[in-house]
Structure 1
Amino acid sequence: MFLFKIIKSKIKEDEYSNTIELYDAIPKYVWNQKKENIDLSNAIIIRYCNLRGKRFLIKIKPAIIEKKNFNTVLIYPGQREEILEDVLRKLAVEGKGKIIDGKAGVIFTLYELQKELMKIGHGYNLNEIKEALRVCQGANLECISKDRKIFISSSFFPVISLTTKNFLKENKNKGICYVQFNPLVNSAIKSLSFRQYNYTTGMQIRSPLARYMYKRMSHYWVQAHNLYPYTPSLISFLNCSPRELSLRISENIRAMKNALDVLIQKKIISSYKLIKKKYGRKIVDVKYIILPHRNFVEQIMRSNKKRKKIIKAALKINLT
């Protein structure tokens, strides 16, 4: 299997990784709710989103995690798990990717993972990292298209293998771990429906909504140019994001403004303007006209070039 050889980036100084079709766009993380819960009666989070002309129903079921005091809690995958998964996918692109029985995954050590998290400014201790991995293994994600032609139900990480504390002590903190990625990630790798993006830039963005927007732009805004602005609507975009919509339109507008201002600071977009849709005097939606920064345009051009090489390499492998 040469899939990870194909997606591996040689541009080390820019530290690129890949966005995944569908999987990275669906609102699968929980940002704005209490992460831990003990109430099973209403534990399933249901969301809806529209992607590439299709309507999807998303169900997020929390992981059941046993704490040190033997109490069990329900934990949803949140920002911690989102960052962790991005780092693991970056390690896969750097040569740690592993295909086992046709399923894409990554091999790593806990200290290697912790070191990379610290490098990007997310310093979790080993217990937090192991808990996050268990949350990704225990939490379930369902994605169902309205026409019922697409249905997937799986945990975020269907298989994990971790080294124990006793093993690490006996082997001087050396021990290999393994994570199998979600089937949607595996499918995207096989179908080559992924795109390169600047991992370092993404990880420097502290706002989860701005980071989500940056990754979404990197995947879908393939003709980024002043003549081809990005034009999301407030209601549709936030409704498809893990943030979801607030009851007050003013809070939604403020959240979008904060995220877009961060993207200007990071030289991803150069400017934006609002077109307010009103019903009488009341604002009911906002359309955004977003123009890219030249740095982002250059990134997209590199990504487009890389994609052509990936397709060419895949065709060559299939023909040999």
Structure 2
Amino acid sequence: MASNITVAPISTGIPTQVLQFENQDPQRTNTIDLWDVAPRGVFYTNTTDREAGKYLKIVEREFEHCGKHYRLTIKPARLKRAGQETEEYPGEREQLVEEVVRRLAQESGRLRLDGRDLWMTFSINEISEELARTGHRYSWSEVKEALQILHLSTVEILRVDPDPKSETGAVTNVISASAFPQLGFRERGRETSETTIQFNSLLTSAIRHLEFMQLDYDTIMSLKGPVPRWLYKRLSHNVFYGDHDANIQVLTASDLYRGCGLQPRSRKRDELRKITGAIDALKNAGIIRKYEIQDVNDGIDRRRKDDIIYTVYLSSVFVEDITIAKKRHQLIKTDYAQIEGADPKEFIPGTAQKRDQLRRKRASRKVTEQPELQF
């Protein structure tokens, strides 16, 4: 169970990076590279593994992102439900709760710095109401349990291909932590309860170094099922970090199936159907304009389909949205350099003068530059 902790963040000026993470547009959210595309969810658990009191297996996966290869390990959370011990992996419910937490985190004054750590306070009711608004209804107790699973389950990500920055070429440990390493509940009735979380080191580092990008929050929450939501993020990151031809993506069903976190199926056609369904969902949502397929046979029986190669043509609206996100990202870094006179390496307590500088930069941009670059 989560420990009941009382968090008293150090009373210092809000760092410029945190102010730049804030965004008052409710239709946008900030996404973090690698963490948000890693296959961190388990969407089906074998019924024989769910016996009360029985330990679930550690899940191990390998995936590729932006030309780099990673190994991911998920350790389930162990908690009590109706007085009985059980274990749970983070699944679709936990992913949706984390999306809402991230969206709330960018509201003004939400994040607080304590030393080198970022903390956030909210109420479970806020999460429940936002989930309901976006078409995902969970009870107060279900949201609380989801937060506990996000706190108690751990994720380890290792880079397994040679890192050019490493002198030995050894495996690089990217992170080993839960989504929220510390979690505290202060309950004084459901309406006035407070929940406090600590962001993990990968999220904190991304904010400190201004390595985040904005995505369409409404699109993420409107897509049905974890696979289309994951594929939307994957394509967004591919375009954001890709070259000028990134609006055409060549993808394979086998790579997408491994990357999205689904458990292997006994029948290959079921896996292929699941991925094609996710691509169709993004086409219906206007993210993909069209796609072409090339069947890959297994080499023995030419009638048996072993894989599918998709050539995906992204819509101009989607590509333009990511192009604007790139411009926002560049402006955020430029603003920081001009205000702080340095690259974003550490959290430096802000001042009223720095906050005013940032406010004036945004105000002048609103009047003289492109309105779509407001954030």
Q: Is the 8 A contact 2:54 2:86 kept in 1?
A: no
Count of aligned pairs between the two proteins = 312
Quick one: distance in 2 between partners of 1:144 and 1:114? 34
Provide the residue aligned with 2:358 in structure 1. Answer: none
Q: 1:3 aligns with which of 12, 17, 28?
A: 17
Compared CA separation, residues 37 and 309, structure 1 to 2 (3 A): farther
Q: Is the 8 A contact 2:239 2:246 kept in 1?
A: no
Q: Deviations over 1:207-265 (max 9, x none)?
A: 21111100111122236988840111111121111114423221122111111111111
Compared CA separation, residues 285 and 90, structure 1 to 2 (3 A): same
| TM-score normalised by L of structure 1 | 0.90
Show the 5 A alignment for 1:96-135.
96-135=110-149
Compared CA separation, residues 216 and 104, structure 1 to 2 (3 A): farther
Quick one: distance in 2 between partners of 1:227 and 1:160? 39
Quick one: distance in 2 between partners of 1:6 and 1:151? 24
Q: Is the 8 A contact 1:225 1:292 kept in 2?
A: no
Quick one: distance in 2 between partners of 1:51 and 1:218? 12
Structure 1 residue runs without a partner (length 5+): none
Quick one: distance in 2 between partners of 1:163 and 1:57? 36
CA RMSD of aligned residues (A): 2.2
Report the AA paired with residue 287 of structure 2. I
| TM-score normalised by L of structure 2 | 0.77
Q: CA deviation at 1:205?
A: 0.5
Larger radius of gyration between Structure 1 and Structure 2: 2
Show the 5 A alignment for 1:39-118.
40=54, 42-68=56-82, 70-95=83-108, 96-118=110-132
Provide the residue aligned with 2:196 in structure 1. Answer: 178
Report the AA paired with residue 119 of structure 1. R
Show the 5 A alignment for 1:173-252.
173-222=191-240, 228-252=247-271
**Identical columns (%):** 27
Compared CA separation, residues 37 and 198, structure 1 to 2 (3 A): farther
| SS of residue paired to 2:248 | coil
Report the AA paired with residue 272 of structure 2. I
Provide the residue aligned with 1:271 in structure 2. Answer: 290
1:293 aligns with 2:315: yes
| SS of residue paired to 1:231 | strand
1:16 aligns with 2:24: no
Q: Is the 8 A contact 2:56 2:76 kept in 1?
A: no
Structure 2 residue runs without a partner (length 5+): 1-14, 161-169, 343-375
Report the AA paired with residue 145 of structure 2. E
Compared CA separation, residues 108 and 190, structure 1 to 2 (3 A): same
Q: Is the 8 A contact 1:91 1:106 kept in 2?
A: no
Report the AA paired with residue 131 of structure 1. E
